[in-house]
Structure 1
Amino acid sequence: MSERSKPFLYVVVCAAGIAGDISKLITAAQVREWGVGVIATPQGLGFIDAQAVEAQTGYPIRSAWRSPGDPRPLPPPDAIAVAPATFNTINKWAAGISDTLALGILCEAYGLGIPTAALPYLNAAQAAHPAYRQSLERLRGMGVLIADYEPHQPKAGGGREKFRWEQAVELLIHKVR
Structure 2
Amino acid sequence: MSDQSGRQARKPFLYVVVCAAGVARDADRLFAAAQDAGWDVGVIATPQGLGFLDAAAVEARTGYPIRSAWRSPGDPRPLPDPDAIVVAPATFNTINKWAAGISDTLALGVLCEAYGLGVPTAVLPAVNSSLAQHPAYVESLARLRGMGVRVSTRAPHTPKSGDTAAFPWEEALELLAPELSART
Per the TM superposition, whether the score is higher than 0.5 is: yes
Q: Select 1:101's aligned residue among 95, 100, 106.
A: 106
Structure 2 residue aligned with 1:133:
138
Of 31, 50, 53, which aligns to 1:45? Answer: 50
The C-alpha deviation readout for 1:76-119, integer Å capped at 9, x for no partner, is 10000000011000000000000000000000000000000000
Instruction: After superposition, give the CA deviation of every residue in 1:5-50 in whole Å (9 maximum; x if it has no partner).
Output: 2100000000000101011100111001110000000000111111
1:152 to 150, 157, 182: 157
Residue of structure 2 equivalent to 1:167: 171
TM-score (norm 1): 0.95
Instruction: Please say if 1:21 is aligned against 2:26.
Output: yes
| 1:116 equivalenced with 2:121 (yes/no) | yes
Q: Percent identity?
A: 71
Structure 2 residue ranges without an equivalent (≥5) = 1-7
Q: Residue 25 of structure 1: SS of its match in structure 2?
A: helix
Question: In structure 2, what is the Cα distance between the partners aligned to 1:4 and 1:167?
Answer: 26
How many residues are aligned here? Answer: 174
SS at 1:36 equivalent = strand
The code of the aligned residue for 1:34 comes to W
2-structure distance, mates of 1:50, 1:173: 27
Q: SS in structure 2 opposite 1:161?
A: coil
Residues of 1 paired with 2:145 and 2:168: CA distance?
A: 19
Q: CA deviation at 1:120?
A: 0.5
Q: 2:72 aligned with 1:67, yes or no?
A: yes
Q: In 2, distance between residues paired with 1:144 and 1:114? A: 9
Q: Structure 1 stretches of 5 or more lacking a match?
A: none
Q: What is residue 9 of structure 1 aligned with on the other side?
A: 14
Q: TM-score w.r.t. structure 2 length?
A: 0.92
Which amino acid letter does the alignment assign opposite residue 170 of structure 1?
Answer: E
Contact 1:93 1:103 (C-alpha < 8 Å) held by counterparts = yes
**Following superposition, which runs of at least 4 residues in structure 1 exceed 2 angstroms of deviation?**
none
- Higher gyration radius (CA): 2
Aligned residue in 2 for 1:143:
148
